[in-house]
Amino acid sequence: MAVHALLNIAVRAARNAGEIIVRSMNRLESLQITSKGRNDFVTEIDQAAEREIIGHIRKHYPNHAFLAEESGQIGESETVWIIDPLDGTTNFLHGFPQFAVSIACRHRGQLEHAVVYDPLRQEIFTASRGAGAHLDNHRIRVSKQRALEGALIATGFPYRSNLRYLDAYLAMLRTVMEHTAGVRRPGSAALDLAYVAAGRVDAFWEIGLKPWDTAAGTLLIQEAGGHVGTLTGAPYAQGGNIIAGSPKIYAALVEALAPHVPESLREG
Ligand code: 2AM
Ligand code: CA
C-alpha cells in the first residue's frame, strides 16, 4: 500500500501527540486544568499535544491552514488540517482509558486523509480518499450486520448546553435500547467513529459535536464502506448532529430515530 505523504505526516504527528498524552498519565493529579465552560475541561496536555501536531505539520507545510479544538482557525488555505489533539478529555482526566488523537486533512472542501490514534492500545486508524480505511495496515470494513436486532450501537450522551435536548435524546436512547443488542457510551466520538469503520460497533449517533470530533472519523467510515449523515439522514457537513454506520444499520437507525428527532435537531 503506497501511503500518501500527507497521511504519513498526520500519522507521525498523531503518534507524537499520543506520546505526550500517555507520558502525562502518571501525573494526572498535578495537571493544570482550566475550564472552558461548565463541564468542559482543557488541560495543559490538550494544548501541548495540539502544539506538537501543528508544529509537525507546519515544518512540512508552512502554508497550510488549521482548524483545531484549542486554537480555533489558523490561516487560510485550500488545505485545512482539522485537529482534535485529545478527544475524550473527560475520560483522560479520570484515567479512564478511552481517548484518542484525531487529525483530518481537507483539500478544497473535500476530506482527503484521516488518522484516529488510540495511544494506549497503540491502534492507528487511517484513511485516504479512494484508498480505503486501515487499522495498523490491515484493511477495515464496516460491519455486515443486517438488522437493528442484534446490533451494537455507540452513542454520546448530551452534556452542557445540549442538555436542553435531554428529553428528546432519552426518547432516542429508549428506542435504540429496545431494538438492539446493546448501547455503549465510550466517551470519545472520534474513536467511536473509528470503531464503526472497523465494524466493532454497527452504528453511532450523537448530538452537538464539533468538526474536529467528526472529520477524521467521517472519512474512515466512508472509506470503510459506511454512511455518515445528520439525524434525518441528510448529507453531513462536519460538526453538529450525526448518525454513522454500516449502510443497513445507518438506514435502520435513521428510521428508528425519526419519530424522536425534534425540529431543532433536524439540521446537521
Ligand atoms: P473532547 O474531549 O475532545 O471535548 C463525546 O460526547 C464527545 O464530546 C467527545 O468526543 C468529547 O470530546 C466531547 N466532549 C466535550 N465536553 C464533554 C463533556 N463534558 N463530557 C463528555 N464529552 C465531552
Ligand atoms: Ca479535545
Q: How do residues 60-72 score in pLDDT, each as one tens digit?
A: 999 999 999 999 9
State residue 3's pLDDT score: 83
Domains and CATH numbers, the chain: 5-139 (3.30.540.10), 152-265 (3.40.190.80)
State residue 128's pLDDT score: 98
State residue 253's pLDDT score: 98
d(CA 194, CA 178): 25
The stretch 223-252 carries a mean pLDDT of: 96
208 lines ligand 1 (CB under 6 A): no
40 lines ligand 1 (CB under 6 A): yes
Return the minimum-mean-pLDDT range out of 31-45, 80-94, 249-263: 31-45
State residue 27's pLDDT score: 85
State residue 33's pLDDT score: 79
d(CA 136, CA 260): 38
The stretch 76-82 carries a mean pLDDT of: 98
State residue 39's pLDDT score: 60
The stretch 196-209 carries a mean pLDDT of: 98
By most ligand atoms within 8 Å of CB, the mutation choice from 157, 188, 191, 205 for ligand 1 is: 188
Question: In the chain, pLDDT over 90 holds for what percent of residues?
Answer: 89
Q: How far is the CA of 46 from the centre of ligand 2 (A)?
A: 7
Intra-chain end-to-end CA distance of the chain, in Å: 35
By most ligand atoms within 8 Å of CB, the mutation choice from 87, 92, 93, 166 for ligand 1 is: 87
Q: Is 140 within 8 Å of 191 (Cβ atoms)?
A: no
Q: Cell numbers at residue 246, please?
A: 454500516
The stretch 228-248 carries a mean pLDDT of: 95
pLDDT band at residue 183, thresholds of 50, 70 and 90?
Answer: very high
Q: Average pLDDT, whole number, for the chain?
A: 95
Q: Where are the alpha helices (DSSP H) in the chain?
A: 5-23, 44-60, 89-94, 166-179, 189-197, 211-223, 247-257
State residue 37's pLDDT score: 64
State residue 226's pLDDT score: 98
Closest CA relative to residue 213, chosen from 102, 51, 48, 49: 102
Residue 99 has pLDDT above 70, yes or no: yes
159 lines ligand 1 (CB under 6 A): yes
State residue 100's pLDDT score: 98
Q: How far is the CA of 87 from the centre of ligand 2 (A)?
A: 4
Residue 1 has pLDDT above 60, yes or no: no
Q: Which residue is associated with the grid cell 470530533?
A: 213
Q: How do residues 241-263 score in pLDDT, each as one tens digit?
A: 999 999 999 999 999 999 999 99
The stretch 143-153 carries a mean pLDDT of: 98
The stretch 106-122 carries a mean pLDDT of: 98
Q: Which amino acid is at 2?
A: A
The stretch 185-198 carries a mean pLDDT of: 98
d(CA 197, CA 246): 8
Residue 38 has pLDDT above 70, yes or no: no
Q: Where are the alpha helices (DSSP H) in 61-134?
A: 89-94
Report the sign of the C-alpha dihedral through residues 22, 24, 27, 30, in that order. Answer: negative
State residue 171's pLDDT score: 98
What residues are neighbours of ligand 2 (ion), with CB under 5 Å? 69, 84, 86
**Dihedral through CA 253, CA 193, CA 96, CA 9, nearest 10?**
-170
